[in-house]
Structure 1
Amino acid sequence: ASKITSFSELAIMNNVDNLGEVRSETLNGVGVVRITFQPGTNITDAFAQVTSVSQTILRMMPAGTNPPLIVPYVPSSVPIIQLVLASDTLTDGALYDFARLQLRAHIQSIPGIRLTLPYGGASRQVMIDLKPEALQAYGISASDIAKATATQNLTLPSGTLRVDTRDITITTNASPEAVTNFAELPLRSVDGRVIRVSDVASVRDGQAVQTNIARLDGQNAVIVQILKLGNASTLDIVNQIKASLPELQASAPKGVRIASVFDQSAFVERAIANVMTEAVVVGLLVAFVVLVFLGSWRSSLIVLTSIPLALLASILGLALTGNTFNLMTLGGLMLAIGILVDNALVEIENINRNLELGLGLKEAILKSASEVAFAEFVSTVSICIVFSPLFLL
């Protein structure tokens, strides 16, 4: 495996542009290559280059090498919901296959998501358990059985048949229709007798070697993580997934329970509620302070009005730039409320000071704005600079 990993790493380093760092790790039968690109690289083009190189070198790999799974990673691609399939009646393998085939096909059409492979369980396999004594007696090796099952488990096109004005495609299907049919596959003929797989091995419906396990309330279970891609809305995705669960549950085998054990939308909804609560509490407190110390209900009304108007303008800006509500944008809104209130208080107090000096309303507003605008601008920009590294994530 290490040679395959090294070959892949060298091919990528020699043929892919704008590389920042290439790291590889070789495990038992698995090679992982992590690629980091230079800032400003077009990830779509880079992904296409990596895919092209990986597929090109596949034909140079040893026989039996699986095609690479190429997955782009960005910090915004995080799990937003975890679905668990649990059952007391189905095996881990049956749950795994249902999650990998039916569940993925059911919700994969939801835009902006990517599903990981199920965790827990193992994929279904037809297991052929060899009998060493019988193999030796008939002079048959394990490779003979592997070759027989490979060559007699095929579906091949065989041409077309013209009937009147129609062309009918003909296929030769040699795939066994049931697991038990594998036992009837012929291996060779000895003294006029056909030696079959059942003579030297037992065939059963099994599963691959299980390397991880998941349980829900003591039941067999598999876990599927659903990741959000790019700027997709967490709330929209989770709501669509939850809306599809009743239909998915109805199509599931009897005894299968589908549940959500992690839901990031709950954090987003809580953050939205916190922003709204903070806006209301801050608005009322500031209006009360202005009313007490300045004695002006009009100034209090201005403060109360400025907060929702600013929030609406921010939400409109998010919509126009293609962004959605998430923990980052909501955190920014919560921070902006405090800055907004500070600037509003300074502006209102300065306007009242100029009014007390005898200036007219319009003149007092313009003079007050010119006196504090630069200071407020600099203070706001300073805060923005502090948080600017977040754009590099």
Structure 2
Amino acid sequence: MTWLVKVALDRPYTFIVMALMILIFGPLAAVKTPTDIFPNIGIPVIGVAFTYSGLSPDDMASRIMTPYERILSTTVNDVEHVESQSMPGIGIAKIYFQPNVDIRLASAQVTSISQSAIRQMPPGIQPPLILNYSASTVPVLQMAFSSTSLSEQQVLDYSQNFARPRLTTVNGAAIPYSYGGKFRSVLIDLDPQAMQARGLSSIDVQNAFVAQNQIVPAGNIKIGDFQYVVLLNNAADTIEAMNELPVKTVGGGTVFMRDVAHVRDGNSVQQNIVHVDGSRAVLSTVLKNGQTSTLDVVQGIKDLLPLLREQLPPELKIDILSDQSLFVKAAVDGVMHEGAIAAGLTSLMILLFLGSWR
């Protein structure tokens, strides 16, 4: 180490410049260092979700998930292993790839083979939902939408169709579907006795309803110097009009929807309920997506909330339930505090050993 002391004494300005560079670039590096809950975890995983209403878990596993796994193992490159889970009406497959795989090429292969695989599955199955999974995509903020005067259906409607599209404009924010509330649906309550008396089944009612609620493009028509787009709007615009739809002709008479069923504006079966302070509410979760830090995502959401509250009804409350950025800020403050203490103690020890400020 004597040579280092000799160089420092012979070339003092070199070490002064090095010290100044540390003082300048050190804080810059600290400011630009990513601050997040977890580091960027590059595990290449793709999730595929199949839905088939009414199918049991055993049938979902044997008729859909097992054949799909076999197709993946023979047509998609660089697959490490596949995990699948079968539930009533839902099947989820997680496809794990080798570490150095091109995830864009893998996603394209999975998408193309999934569209081909549904032709070999039971008829009526819907195209699967394909998502690129990232381990660093974690919940960073939870918000509750509640109201004492609005119904659960209205609260969910404002949260899902008004607030969610605006919050997703924040860079790095991903907002899945909300929890709680009642999803608005048009329901048809069938009258079994009336249907049996007229020789009709639920399929007849369904076919009549679908056939008479369509918007079909009929083509273009040119009149003089103008060309018009012609549409055939066959969709009922009110609940009362739906009750007047003809279902079938039986015995020379027309059977209307009101004769065998009742169409009403209601909600689908509620699958989950959220309580906040003992009252019904709708829970919305904000996920961090991409390379954006947790602090930037949370701050962007908080900056947008005042504008959102102005556009929503005043009786609708938006409360923040959990904020992961507080943990990140506390961790950063702790690191800075410990770093300042370490720098101070190191300087003090050097001063004690040297015995001079010079």
TM-score normalized with structure 2 length: 0.77
183 and 71 in structure 1: CA distance in 2 versus 1, 3 angstrom threshold: same
Secondary structure class of the residue paired with 2:126? coil
1:260-279 deviation line (CA, Å, top 9, x unaligned): 21222112222222222222
1:9 maps to which of 44, 55, 69: 69
Matches within 5 A, 1:48-59: 48-59=108-119
The answer for the alignment partner of 2:324 in structure 1 is 264
Residues 79 and 227, structure 1, Cα contact 8 Å, conserved in 2: yes
The answer for the alignment partner of 1:197 in structure 2 is 257
Secondary structure class of the residue paired with 1:297? coil
Shift of 1:254: 4.9
16 and 113 in structure 1: CA distance in 2 versus 1, 3 angstrom threshold: farther
Larger radius of gyration: 1
Shift of 1:192: 4.7
Task: Supply the RMSD in Å over aligned alpha carbons.
Answer: 2.1
Gapped regions of structure 2 (runs ≥ 5): 1-59
56 and 256 in structure 1: CA distance in 2 versus 1, 3 angstrom threshold: farther
The answer for the alignment partner of 2:131 in structure 1 is 71
The answer for the alignment partner of 2:6 in structure 1 is none
Shift of 1:60: 4.4
1:96-145 deviation line (CA, Å, top 9, x unaligned): 33333222221222232322121223432111111111111121111111
TM-score normalized with structure 1 length: 0.70
Once the two structures are aligned, what percentage of the paired residues are identical? 37
Residues 167 and 173, structure 2, Cα contact 8 Å, conserved in 1: no
2:229 maps to which of 155, 159, 169: 169
Shift of 1:229: 1.9
**One-letter amino acid matched to 1:231:** Q
Gapped regions of structure 1 (runs ≥ 5): 299-393
Q: Distance in 1 between matches of 2:194 and 2:165?
A: 43
Q: Distance in 2 between matches of 1:82 and 1:163?
A: 56
2:203 maps to which of 143, 146, 153: 143
1:227-277 deviation line (CA, Å, top 9, x unaligned): 212321222221111111122223334532122212221122222222222
Q: Distance in 1 between matches of 2:283 and 2:71?
A: 35
Shift of 1:38: 0.8
The answer for the alignment partner of 1:234 in structure 2 is 294
Residues 76 and 231, structure 1, Cα contact 8 Å, conserved in 2: no
Q: Distance in 1 between matches of 2:160 and 2:115?
A: 24
Q: Distance in 2 between matches of 1:60 and 1:164?
A: 52
Q: Distance in 2 between matches of 1:99 and 1:64?
A: 31
Q: Distance in 1 between matches of 2:201 and 2:117?
A: 32
1:256-310 deviation line (CA, Å, top 9, x unaligned): 2122212221122222222222222222233233333432334xxxxxxxxxxxx
Q: Distance in 1 between matches of 2:318 and 2:198?
A: 49
238 and 48 in structure 1: CA distance in 2 versus 1, 3 angstrom threshold: same
The answer for the alignment partner of 1:32 in structure 2 is 92
The structure, 1 or 2, with the larger RCO (C-alpha pairs under 8 Å, 6+ apart) is 2
The answer for the alignment partner of 1:184 in structure 2 is 244
Instruction: Looking at secondary structure, tell me which structure has more helix per residue.
Output: 1
The answer for the alignment partner of 1:306 in structure 2 is none
1:41 maps to which of 92, 101, 113: 101
Residues 88 and 220, structure 1, Cα contact 8 Å, conserved in 2: no
The answer for the alignment partner of 2:278 in structure 1 is 218
Secondary structure class of the residue paired with 1:280? helix
Q: Distance in 2 between matches of 1:254 and 1:12?
A: 51
Q: Distance in 2 between matches of 1:61 and 1:244?
A: 45
Shift of 1:71: 1.8
